[in-house]
Structure 1
Amino acid sequence: MAARVGLWMVGAWGGVATTVATGLSALRQGLSEPVGLVTAKEPLASLPWADWGDLTIGGHDIRETTYAAEAQVLWEKSRVFSPDLLNRVADDFAAWDQNIQPGVLVNVGDRIRSLAGEKSRSYLAESPLQAIARIRKDLENFREQHRLDRLIVVNVASTEPPVDPALAELDWPQLQKLLGASEPIKLPSSSLYAIAAFECGASHVNFTPSVGTDLPALSELALTQGVVHCGRDGKTGETLLKSVLGPMFAARNLHVNSWVGHNIFGNLDGKVLDDPANKATKVKSKDHLLTEILGYKPQTLVSIEYIESLGDWKTAWDHIHFEGFLGTKMAMQFTWQGCDSLLAAPLVLDLVRITELEARLGSKGLLPFVGSFFKSPMGCSTPEFATQYQQLVEWAQLRQSQFEKK
């Protein structure tokens, strides 16, 4: 297809975004096979996806760095890229660096605010409405400069603290009014980015546990603006395994007494999650799944610890204590070790492709069929991974049949 597609990442110089940029450049140049991309295997592969060469990257970040510098850190601390690959993607890095703008610090929490550079700190006093206006201007300038046909905003920033539950009681007119009040409502920056995206007609993907578009008011705004969105919190490791193993225990009528998950990792996200306020959002996203799958709540413990020396590698150790026939108690343990950004980046590219296709076709509102990508999927009717993936397959088959009839 001959269309220009913008990928605007919030947290644009973070580990996930840097890996997305590295992977996109490698795919554009034919330097890597699309391993890890769901859209590269049938029945999804035959759909008319945007070409990798049609995508260009921009974004917001509160830090001041470059893609080359962040990729070098990933190489030095985690050995996830080769120096030769980084040399070959350097030109794309340099071009995309020019599109990164200072991020928003409104209601992000103390830990995230502490990471901000001078440029972002110059906007510390801006109101929510001023932040939305600035984000929207950056998005519109990016669209105009690169003559984009479609724009997808993807949040891959650090996890924010929990929000006031009262936000879920507001419709869009009420929320909009409160944003402009003399003492504005405390809407987090993840939602401000989403509002700006919707107002300028861009799609939105929330790959983080932060609330983002997961509010009735923002779902209403998306429908009004005729844009698509999805989220919340990319499902890449331990929770992915829970969504596969949990249904096995339920199907075999084995009673899970307790499930303990201990997570350690050392990247920037881990540093942010070392703050109890930010950690609370992530733990909630990881811990609700088993109750939904099993139909009862076993004793659970989810711990997340920052171990700096691990870099981008994360380890999850899980202990499952369950009861079988005649009250016999048994146990299962597993260890998951993976590179956080390398697990997440291909899913981000998949979601960009899927979101772009739906936007191209004129869809609007939530995309419930992408539940297999998320820990807390919005609009998804089931928590089981196999069923969620089948919903994605059925969507792909439906779209393929529609294209074949044209």
Structure 2
Amino acid sequence: MSTEPSPATVPARFGVWLVGARGSVATTAIAGCAAVAAGLQPPTGMVTEAPPFTSSGLPSLSSLVFGGHDTLDCPLPKRAEHLAAGGVLPHGLPSAVHAELAAADREIRPGGPLHGDTTRSAEEWIETFAADIRDFVHRQDLAGAVVVNVASTEPAPTDGILPPSSLYAAAALRAGCPYVNFTPSTGLHHPALAPLAESSGLPYAGRDGKTGQTLLRSVLGPMFAQRALTVRAWSGTNLLGGGDGAALADPAAAAAKNAGKERVLADTLGAAPQGEVHIDDVPALGDWKTAWDHIAFDGFLGARMVLQTTWQGCDSALAAPLVLDLARLLLRARAVGLTGPRPELGFYFKDPDGDASSALGEQYAALMDFAARLRDGA
């Protein structure tokens, strides 16, 4: 009998391919994953690091390998330094996780198409992106990968042509990867991609991550409905800077963003109240956002009352833990054989898949049931 020790089992590694990989959300997610995995920071904001998900078989944070597409060329370590200077990342964290940021940066490939670029057909772009993802999985010897869109919001298409977000979504499925649309952009919701989504045999989720104002609306809307209080009007204003502020200065992009906010109120209140959401680009705010809501409602005997809320936060720090949650959840869903849209993940989105409830309490209950399914192997 041989007395030689058996070779150690190498833990499986999983890829997270980020569309918009050099943006604020992606950079924060990559740096945050490395910091939490190393014990440098607590997993604040990560639902998947709390029971019952800790027993659901999710990939560990230390097993995640990052890459992605982007049209920008600012290296991730430098981008992280900018975020630390703006107070988004803790002071000194970019240096502490420099190796992980540099490794992820080496796995970023050129994105596209840029506005007006007609040098390649949609099919050529899709195959190029899919080849990049397949090469990443092969080169890194990964057990699987998930694609998450965290790029800037694009206007809704009006000409039938596949927008960039849909090209990336199609490439993800072609490469055999689950897909998450964390943006309001079209992604897999384009009618031309319905056959591909249905036949892919892959799980996917989206769209538009719910991080601040709409998160609050998904709590307050059901409160008014459950207390039989009539909401007459609900108006809101968002002040933000950074890449999102610049992108949402485009009225068409802002309209795509606001559609999810309006759906939450219509779903939870039974009808859309009067009022609109206005988005103002204030470059001086950088990655920080202020959101105001003014809610006019009627009480007993028609008594008129008002609730006003103010939400001030950092979108990148709010979004990054959700991106990590969703990446791990979709990787596990793929491993246990789940396919198609995952309405159980509506907890994370303004515009969840299917007929999922927009009320946060109901969404959380569905998410807990999903955790049990993942634990039991679906």
**Residue 67 of structure 1 pairs with residue 61 of structure 2:** no
Deviation track 1:106-127 (CA, whole Å, cap 9, x = no partner) reads: 6xx5xxx8xxxxxxxxx75221
CA distance in 1, matches of 2:206, 2:277: 21
User: Which residue is equivalent to 2:110?
Assistant: 102
- State the shift of 1:297 in Å: 2.1
Corresponding position of 2:289: 314
Taking the aligned partners of 1:125 and 1:210, their CA distance within structure 2 comes to 23
One of 127, 132, 151 as aligned partner of 2:126: 132
Paired residue for 2:50?
41
Aligned counterparts of 1:54 and 1:281: Cα–Cα separation in 2: 35
- Displacement after TM superposition at 1:300 (Å): 1.8
Give CA deviations for 1:242-289 in whole Å, capped at 9, x if unaligned. 000000000111110100111001111111111112112112222222
1:210-225 mapped onto 2 (5 Å cutoff): 210-225=185-200
Match of 2:142 among 145, 148, 155: 148
**SS at 1:83's partner residue?**
coil
Contact 1:158 1:269 in 2 (8 A): yes
Aligned pairs for 1:178-217 within 5 A: 185-217=160-192
Q: Is the 8 A contact 2:336 2:377 kept in 1?
A: no
Secondary structure of the corresponding residue to residue 55 of structure 2: coil
Aligned-partner SS, 1:392: helix
Name the counterpart of 2:318: 343
Matched-pair identity in %: 44
Match of 1:89 in 2: 97
Q: Secondary structure at the match of 1:187?
A: coil
1:385 equivalenced with 2:363 (yes/no): no
**C-alpha separation between the residues in 2 aligned to 1:200 and 1:139?**
6
Would you say 1:9 and 2:26 are equivalent positions? Answer: no
Of 339-348 and 23-32, more deviation after overlay is shown by 23-32
Mapped partners of 1:350, 1:96: distance in 2 = 18
Matched, 1:158 2:152: yes
Report the TM-score when normalising by structure 1.
0.88
Aligned letter for 1:97? D
Asked if 1:397 corresponds to 2:369, the answer is no
Instruction: Give the partner amino acid of 1:306.
Output: D
Tell me how far 1:190 sits from its aligned partner. 0.6
Q: 1:261 aligns with which of 236, 253, 264?
A: 236
C-alpha distance in structure 2 between counterparts of 1:192 and 1:141, whole Å: 18
Matches of 1:53 and 1:225, distance apart in 2: 28
- What is the letter of the counterpart of residue 236 of structure 1? T
Separation of aligned partners in 2, 1:401 and 1:54: 21
Distance 1:218 1:130 in 2: 16
Structure 1: unaligned runs, 5 residues or longer: 114-122, 167-184
Corresponding residue for 1:181? none
Cα offset, 1:380, TM superposition:
4.1
RMSD of aligned alpha carbons: 1.6
2:264 matched residue in structure 1: 289
Deviations 1:376-400 (A, max 9, x none): 0112421111101100011212333
Matched, 1:360 2:335: yes
- Tell me if the contact between 1:219 and 1:365 (Cα under 8 Å) persists in the aligned partners: no
Aligned AA (2:270)? G
Question: What pairs with 1:168-183 in structure 2 (closer than 5 Å)?
Answer: none
Aligned equivalent of 2:4: none
Q: In 2, Cα distance between the equivalents of 1:222 and 1:372?
A: 22
Q: 1:92 to 1:401 in 2, by over 3 A?
A: closer
Flag the 1:14–1:251 CA change in 2: closer, same or farther, 3 A. same
SS of match in other structure, 1:334: strand
Q: 1:317 aligns to what SS in structure 2?
A: strand
